[in-house]
Amino acid sequence: MSPAAIRMFSLVRREVSRFVKIKGQTIGAPLLETFLYITVFGAALGTRIGDLEGFEYIVFVIPGLIMMAWAINAFSNNASSILQQKFQRSIDDQLSSPSSPAQLLTALSLGGFLRGMVIALITFLVAMLLVDLPVEHPLVLIIALLLVGFFFSQLGVLVGIRAEQFEDVSFVQTFVLTPLIFLGGVFYSAALLPQPFQSLTEFNPLYYMISLVRYGFLGIADIEVWISMLVLAVITFSLFLLNLRLFQRGYKLRS
């Protein structure tokens, strides 16, 4: 194994160890939250709402819940990790290490990405035990979830870099990220909305992600799959390049 690969592996292992040590908070709490969503929306509301676009309501909702689990955990892990390292000034040692900015960014991003993936995978397995959840287009689903995980890991990095206190991270997650997810069609089909709300939803990037993931599971989508894939790929790659530029400059990272 090359020295660069060893450095990368060490950084990724450090990030994974960080959230595994507090698995009750980082893994247990999100799983409980997702289970409550499935229980409430499946048992309490599902029987009253009935079918939605040819599927039981809970089946229609679960793809969005899986995406939401990956998104929120990838974001919160990376944002809090970078902010904590800024406070402890341990980020200075990493920036002055032989690792390149691209290696540091990739390793830090993978921490949140892997945490989100673990939560999403367990959520999927639990959902499979509770309901008959189809997977109509597995290749599209895998690509979509990987892009979603990478996007939110990059978003977490960006917020962590710019944040000056933990309240900044909480503000973004509570007042920006969560409303965008809920208004992106996790619990409903955007096609059912009246105008102008249906048109306004198209400006929500989460709308494209949820539609893409739902297509992978159920084979239905509010918009063309290739459009969702293109939009998601472009904004994800653009965010990575922005973060890479900030790492190269040491923006709000160096003391």
What does the alpha-carbon distance between residue 164 and residue 72 come to, in Å, rounded to a whole number? 20
pLDDT value, residue 156:
94
Cα angle: 123, vertex 113, 166; to 5 degrees: 100
**pTM of the predicted model as reported, rounded to 2 decimal places:** 0.89
Which residue is it, tokens 């890479």?
A: 244
What does the alpha-carbon distance between residue 98 and residue 123 come to, in Å, rounded to a whole number? 38
The answer to whether residues 138 and 216 touch, using CB atoms and an 8 Å cutoff, is yes
Q: Cα dist. 167→172, 174, 216 in Å?
A: 9, 10, 35
What does the alpha-carbon distance between residue 49 and residue 75 come to, in Å, rounded to a whole number? 32
pLDDT value, residue 25:
66
Report how far Cα 3 is from the mean position of its chain's Cα atoms. Answer: 30
pLDDT in tens, the chain (255 residues): 677 677 677 777 877 777 777 666 667 777 777 777 777 766 666 666 767 778 888 888 889 889 998 999 899 989 988 888 888 777 777 777 777 888 889 888 898 899 899 889 988 888 888 788 899 999 999 999 999 999 999 999 999 999 888 889 889 988 999 888 888 888 887 777 777 777 788 888 898 899 999 999 999 988 889 888 998 999 999 999 999 999 888 888 875
The answer to whether residues 87 and 166 touch, using CB atoms and an 8 Å cutoff, is no
What does the alpha-carbon distance between residue 236 and residue 59 come to, in Å, rounded to a whole number? 28
Instruction: Find the distance separating the first CA and the last CA of the chain, reported in whole Å.
Output: 33
pLDDT value, residue 1:
63
The answer to whether residues 217 and 133 touch, using CB atoms and an 8 Å cutoff, is yes
pLDDT value, residue 209:
92
3-state helix, strand, coil in the chain (%, to 5): 80, 0, 20
pLDDT value, residue 235:
92
pLDDT value, residue 139:
95
pLDDT value, residue 234:
92
The answer to whether residues 134 and 36 touch, using CB atoms and an 8 Å cutoff, is no
| Per-residue tokens: 31 | 């799983």
Identity of the residue numbered 8? M
pLDDT value, residue 42:
64
The answer to whether residues 162 and 176 touch, using CB atoms and an 8 Å cutoff, is no
